[in-house]
Structure 1
Amino acid sequence: MSESRSMNILGDYQGYHFRRSCGYCHTTKGSAIVGVHAHRLSVSDYQILMDRGFRRSGTFLYKPDLLHSCCPQYAIRLEAGAFRPSKEHRQTINRFNRYVLGEEYIKAFQRYKKAKHKALTGEHSSDFDLVEAIHMAESKYVPDELKHIHRDHELKVVLDNSQFTAAKFRLYKKYQIATHKDIENELRPESFKAFLCDDPFRLDKYNYTDNCSDPKLLGLFHQLYYLDGKLIAMAVLDFLPESISSVYFIWDQDMAKYSLGKLSACRETALAIERNAPYYYMGLYIHNCQKMRYKGGFFPSFLLDPELYVYFPLSKFVAEFEKSEYVSFSEHPKVRNLELGYDAHLEQCTTAFEANLPGIPPANEIESDQRMLPSVLIDRGRSCDSLASVLCQLAPDIRIEVKKRFIDLAAVLGPEVSQRTLIVDTDTLYLA
């Protein structure tokens, strides 16, 4: 499956949103994002947007404001091919494998592996092979010579398309209630679909495949873990041209002692290696959030500088995090000041420019180069127009507001993606 790089279609630009609450530290200093809904987006351009600090929830694209949020959310990615599992990672994988396979099979496999390696090389090897270890517990990877050996459980890991199923939804509800204390009757299939089943990529996916490492796979997929026929975990993954991006991971709380979250991160790293994808995107990293600190244990990890849009080693950031929760290595970084609590001015901001969002160019730079601006898709007749031709049809007072919103969106998206973007739902922009 391949992607034709057609125009992106975005609509309903929600601009800048600040709220006093924070879902991570639960203070009232506040957090903020800029967001836009995507009707269609190429996987290649989403890769570019991730490298500008964007993430997605369903078809909603959002970029956190690291400067003005009490818990700055840094984009984190791992160089998959250079990853060397730590002792903790190896123990996590081995503990799960031992649970699934049982001691009898583990001992038989170790003898089989040593004999096979010695036959090929003439010597013994004790090296830990991440890909081999990850697949070891799966039924389909059991060598023919060992199929007669008893295994305690049967594990099957398959790649499915992102369609809704009752089994996926049941697992999601159980996870959200246990982990995030959600209320059961407020968890609805529609919200689950919008969050984890919908995507803007509009790609023709395989209905089903076991070959997760196929480099032609692009778009959103669900990786399902079945233990003795029961769904125990689901990884929601974006397959992009040069990476795998983790969207969400849910798992059965009955399996808590086996650290399935860390195990899945190891598995997804191995998957990136199998696909020859240079990077595994682990989502967002908050240095002072204990639930996210485990991501820093995957080496070598890099965080995205919010002003330069360059990745620097996590270790370089950690030293600076001791001084400030907001870090940028630009020559003149923006200054953060949240010690006095939230800034009431931010609640009135509707654009990235008004909020002084890090990493956006000056408005006059975008305004002076019309090529950096998106085009407009008029719903009437589905015709496509330049921004200039649309603006000239508007009343002067509305024209100023609409132009400001387009310039703001172009600044947030960046020139490369903005030039390949059509904006629909223009009535929303006119009234903004």
Structure 2
Amino acid sequence: MNDFLCDQPILIRFYPTATYECSYLPGRDARSLVASPAEIIDGHAYGQLIQHGFRRSGLYVYRPACHPCHECVPVRLDVQQFQPHRNQRRAVKRHANLTSHLQGLEFVDEHFELYRRYQAARHAGGGMDQDDREQYENFILCSNVTSFLVEFREDGKLRMVSLIDQIEDGLSSVYTFFDPDVPAASYGVYNVIWQAGLARQLGLPWLYLGYWIRNSRKMAYKTTYQPLQAWREDNWHPLTPDN
């Protein structure tokens, strides 16, 4: 994929990065295909790119291009047909006291402090646990598309923050961080179900969940949300826990 002409008159080009250490599969090198120039990729253009397996990290729009590895598979959830299974319903019930509040992409000290605690507990040594304010803002608060934050509180205490993009055919779950010190919490499960519900309320068909990686403990869970589709061979196909 070298060029991409949107149905609006802008031309996007794609460039492979140098190889870097894979964050999900130990001992493997990774490479991304980056869409450029970033500043012209608005919500409409990004809406078309995400339908072809791309994702956003700050202003950086990319898709894995790790030949011969093809473990990173873009997935999206059919929110109109989604019905939580028993364990997922338990997570919703467990966190029934959470309240949600939507807000713009503004820096909040409390959010940043939670982000730092989450990275230190869940991703120690991964690099992001050393993020300073500027790196946090570039990752979480920089966007050329329609984006918003959702904070979740329990009895006034901040428990979780989600960054979500709204595109033409759905919502895209960009990043979520939560309180790592609450025992037996299921914030991640609750969050996916909450976002699916929001997409359904907005009349949008899809919740884009990023990449499913079968052999990564951190990323394999996504097939527990059904019906799921995967971007493979230049089209979307059903993806079940068995395939």
* TM over 0.5, shorter chain: yes
2:39 corresponds in structure 1 to 39
1:174 corresponds in structure 2 to 117
1:158 corresponds in structure 2 to 101
CA–CA distance in 1 between the matches of 2:33 and 2:153?
38
Alignment check: 8 A CA contact 1:242 1:277 kept: yes
The structure 2 residue matched to 1:192, chosen from 136, 139, 147, is: 136
Please tell me the residue identity of whatever aligns with 1:246: S
Residue 310 (1) aligns with residue 235 (2): yes
Residue-by-residue CA offset, 1:17-64 (whole Å, 9 max, x unaligned): 24252211221x311111135113232221210121111110011111
Alignment check: 8 A CA contact 2:162 2:176 kept: yes
Change (3 A) 1:285 1:156: same
**% identity of equivalent residues:** 26
CA–CA distance in 2 between the matches of 1:38 and 1:178?
32
Change (3 A) 1:184 1:302: closer
CA–CA distance in 2 between the matches of 1:7 and 1:198?
24
SS at match of 1:76: strand
Change (3 A) 1:299 1:92: same
Please tell me the residue identity of whatever aligns with 1:65: A
Residue 288 (1) aligns with residue 215 (2): yes
Please tell me the residue identity of whatever aligns with 1:26: P
**Could you tell me how far 1:226 is from its partner in structure 2?**
1.6
Residue-by-residue CA offset, 1:357-402 (whole Å, 9 max, x unaligned): xxxxxxxxxxxxxxxxxxxxxxxxxxxxxxxxxxxxxxxxxxxxxx
Alignment check: 8 A CA contact 1:6 1:42 kept: no
Name the TM-score, length of structure 2 as normaliser: 0.88
SS at match of 1:291: coil
1:266 corresponds in structure 2 to 193
* Greater strand share, structure number: 2
Gaps of 5+ in 1: 101-154, 202-218, 320-432
1:15 corresponds in structure 2 to 15
Please tell me the residue identity of whatever aligns with 2:110: A
Please tell me the residue identity of whatever aligns with 2:71: P
Runs of 4+ in structure 1 deviating by more than 4 angstroms, as ranges, are: 5-10, 182-185
CA–CA distance in 1 between the matches of 2:184 and 2:94?
10
**Could you tell me how far 1:6 is from its partner in structure 2?**
6.8
CA–CA distance in 2 between the matches of 1:19 and 1:285?
20
Gaps of 5+ in 2: 1-6
Alignment check: 8 A CA contact 1:8 1:42 kept: no
Alignment check: 8 A CA contact 2:230 2:238 kept: yes
Residue 86 (1) aligns with residue 85 (2): yes
Alignment check: 8 A CA contact 1:9 1:39 kept: no
SS at match of 2:33: strand
CA–CA distance in 2 between the matches of 1:195 and 1:294?
24
CA–CA distance in 2 between the matches of 1:302 and 1:224?
28
Please tell me the residue identity of whatever aligns with 1:188: D
SS at match of 1:164: coil
CA–CA distance in 1 between the matches of 2:68 and 2:129?
34
Larger Rg: 1
Change (3 A) 1:223 1:25: same
Change (3 A) 1:277 1:185: closer
CA–CA distance in 1 between the matches of 2:71 and 2:236?
16
CA–CA distance in 1 between the matches of 2:81 and 2:119?
33
Please tell me the residue identity of whatever aligns with 2:122: T
The structure 1 residue matched to 2:170, chosen from 237, 243, 249, is: 243
Alignment check: 8 A CA contact 1:303 1:312 kept: yes
Please tell me the residue identity of whatever aligns with 2:91: T
Residue 96 (1) aligns with residue 87 (2): no
Q: How many aligned positions are there?
A: 235
**Could you tell me how far 1:248 is from its partner in structure 2?**
0.3
CA–CA distance in 2 between the matches of 1:94 and 1:73?
32
SS at match of 2:138: helix
CA–CA distance in 1 between the matches of 2:37 and 2:87?
39
CA–CA distance in 1 between the matches of 2:60 and 2:218?
24
Please tell me the residue identity of whatever aligns with 1:80: V
Alignment check: 8 A CA contact 2:104 2:148 kept: yes
2:76 corresponds in structure 1 to 77
Residue-by-residue CA offset, 1:258-290 (whole Å, 9 max, x unaligned): 210011000000111101100011111101112
**Please, what is the CA RMSD of the aligned residues?**
2.3
**Could you tell me how far 1:66 is from its partner in structure 2?**
4.8
Please tell me the residue identity of whatever aligns with 1:180: H
Please tell me the residue identity of whatever aligns with 1:64: P
Please tell me the residue identity of whatever aligns with 2:116: K
User: Which moves more between the two structures, 173-182 or 183-192?
Assistant: 183-192
CA–CA distance in 2 between the matches of 1:75 and 1:185?
25
Residue 53 (1) aligns with residue 15 (2): no
Change (3 A) 1:184 1:85: closer
Change (3 A) 1:14 1:300: closer
1:408-423 aligned at under 5 Å gives the runs none
Residue 257 (1) aligns with residue 201 (2): no
* Greater helix share, structure number: 1
1:127 corresponds in structure 2 to none
Alignment check: 8 A CA contact 2:116 2:129 kept: no
Name the TM-score, length of structure 1 as normaliser: 0.51
